[in-house]
Amino acid sequence: MEKAQILLAEDEQTQRDLLSGFLQKEGFSVTAVPNGKEVLRSLDQGFFDLILLDYKMPELDGFHTLQEIRRLYPDVPVVMMTAYGSVETAVACMKAGALDYLTKPIDLDELLLIFQKVLERSKLVQENRELRARLQERYTFGNIVYGSPKMEEVMGLVSRVAPSQATVLITGESGTGKELIANAIHHASPRSAHPLVKVNCAALPEPLLESELFGHEKGAFTGALQRRTGRFEEAAGGTVFLDEIGDLSPGTQVKLLRILQEKEFQRLGSNTTLRTDVRVLAATHRDLEEARKTGLFREDLYYRLNVISIPLPPLRERREDIPLLIDHFLKKFSKQNQKTISDLSKEARSLLLRHPYPGNIRELENLIERAVVLCRGEIITTQDLPFHLKEEQPEHLWETGGKTKTLPESLEEIERDLIINALHQHQGVQTRAAESLGISERVLRYKIRKYSLKFQIPD
């Protein structure tokens, strides 16, 4: 409590001097004023940890001053004091937002105890607010929602790579968010003021893809009625994101290699060499290492692309993120569909937590969008989820690396999911999470250590 800033409002000079002197001797910094108007003026000029407010004062009494404090400075704790103590007065003050109440003549020992309790509570509230802000910052990087240790490693790598000029290869199964990672790298890079141009290499046949990437001259091929600027020209100074680069034909691979090595290219149908200043980000769900070994992907291009490799884990390996993603997509699609859906039932959430997600984040996103569209109330239930989710048994065995998990291992997976979900629902407050799970806080702390959960409130 030492050096806490106290604002004391007391209209009687003798009482004001007595309380002010006592509090200063106890180590507080005290500003003493005679009425409510001076209280509001003092709050306009500086910060206070606590306000000790007399109930009966001239000009603006304590009760109306309290109402103004709550309206203008809702986070500042207030303790009321009065010689006209009554149950009705105390109830009115507490309803108006006072944290405690003292009756004159003031018992100084009681005053210190109340100050200690109120200041400790205020500190706890502030720490909790800061923790929530840190958790929110930690869980989001642009539009990427995460909290699992594996994704923390990925995002740590993204934050280190983004400011550089290095070519980046993003790998992972379909639906894991490779394009979002590319967005994050570009927008956190020095090139963010310039274009981010995206090309899906699997969407176009070779002649059209080459024209898309490098442009063409009029008459370069049938249907080329005018000159076209390619994506590498459009992205000058910025970034080109080549999605599904594992589908490039051998001829296009050669031309891309030249851009990476020499920073130059030619439009189709032209002999003029053009230079380009772009950064290349590439992504694929294919195993490029295997394609390199079998000759399907050029070895020199592979090493040019693979300067920095960012492998994205599938959703089944970052299941701590499932509750976060559920809430993120619920909010997103509720807003898009102009619905007021607040949550999922425990049964619906449990089904989503157990599902193995072969389609990764894209599958989860589609499931939540479907549920939001079909939901008739404010809570998504199992009736809003596809039938195949309900058919999956609670004893579902997870397959990882070809090894079937035993029943105890599967039960631990479910227990871990329930703990993660409870902690997320209660913003990391372990007491409330334990209560919702029907276990003691001591048991919850043991489980957190057992499963190496990283986002709990520090002891």
Q: Which of 350, 325, 368 is nearest to 414 (CA)?
A: 350
User: 316-385 architecture in CATH?
Assistant: Orthogonal Bundle (1.10)
110: left (phi > 0), else alpha (psi -120 to 50), else beta? Answer: alpha
Same fold yes or no, 316-385 and 393-459: no
For helices 430-437 and 441-450, angle between their N-to-C axes, nearest 10 degrees:
100
DSSP H or E run through 390: helix 387-391
Alpha-carbon torsion angle 203, 206, 209, 213, nearest 10: 140
| 158 CB burial (10 A radius; 0-12, 13-18, 19+) | buried
pLDDT at 106: 87
268: left (phi > 0), else alpha (psi -120 to 50), else beta? Answer: beta
Q: Residue 292 in contact with residue 248, Cβ under 8 Å?
A: no
| 146 CB burial (10 A radius; 0-12, 13-18, 19+) | buried
Q: Tell me the three state secondary structure of residue 454.
A: coil
Helices and strands in the chain: count of H runs, count of E runs = 19, 20
Strands 228-229 and 215-216: antiparallel
- Looking at domain 5-135, does it have CATH number 3.40.50.2300? yes
Distance between terminal CA atoms of the chain? 21
CB atoms within 10 A of CB 259: 19
pLDDT at 399: 40
* Residue whose tokens read 């001239």: 58
pLDDT at 406: 60
Domain ranges for the chain = 5-135, 149-313, 316-385, 393-459
Cis status, amide bond into 386, omega within 30 of 0 = no
pLDDT at 174: 94
Q: Cα–Cα–Cα angle for 372, 365, 186, nearest 5°?
A: 130
d(CA 30, CA 4): 8
| Cα–Cα distances in angstroms (integers) from residue 62 to residues 6, 105, 383, in the given order | 16, 17, 54
The two three-digit tokens of residue 359, written as one number: 């389609």
pLDDT at 293: 92
Q: Residue 15 in contact with residue 56, Cβ under 8 Å?
A: no
Tens of pLDDT along the chain (459 residues) come to 557 899 999 989 999 999 999 999 988 999 999 999 999 999 888 889 999 999 888 888 888 999 999 888 888 899 998 876 666 777 788 888 888 888 888 889 899 999 988 888 888 877 776 665 555 555 446 568 888 889 989 999 999 999 999 999 999 999 999 999 999 999 889 999 899 999 999 988 887 898 899 988 888 887 788 888 899 999 999 999 999 999 999 989 999 999 999 888 888 888 888 988 999 999 999 999 999 999 999 999 999 999 999 999 999 999 889 998 999 999 999 999 999 998 999 889 988 988 999 999 999 999 999 999 999 999 999 999 998 887 764 444 344 444 455 656 667 777 888 888 888 777 788 888 888 888 888 888 878 888 777 653 433
d(CA 197, CA 240): 5
pLDDT at 409: 66
CATH topology of domain 149-313: Rossmann fold (3.40.50)
Q: Residue 320 in contact with residue 139, Cβ under 8 Å?
A: no
The two three-digit tokens of residue 294, written as one number: 């079998």
| Cα–Cα distances in angstroms (integers) from residue 69 to residues 16, 40, 74, 326, 348, in the given order | 20, 7, 7, 38, 43
CB atoms within 10 A of CB 436: 15
**Residues 118-125: contacts with CB within 8 Å, 24+ apart?**
118/50, 118/77, 118/79, 119/1, 119/4, 119/49, 119/50, 119/77, 121/77, 122/49, 122/50, 122/77, 125/75
Strands 379-380 and 343-344: parallel
E strands in 112-269: 140-141, 144-145, 168-171, 196-200, 215-216, 228-229, 239-243, 264-266
Q: Which of 295, 274, 319 is nearest to 148 (CA)?
A: 319
- Looking at domain 393-459, does it have CATH number 1.10.3210.10? no
d(CA 244, CA 59): 73
Q: Residue 11 in contact with residue 54, Cβ under 8 Å?
A: yes
Q: Residue 189 in contact with residue 162, Cβ under 8 Å?
A: yes
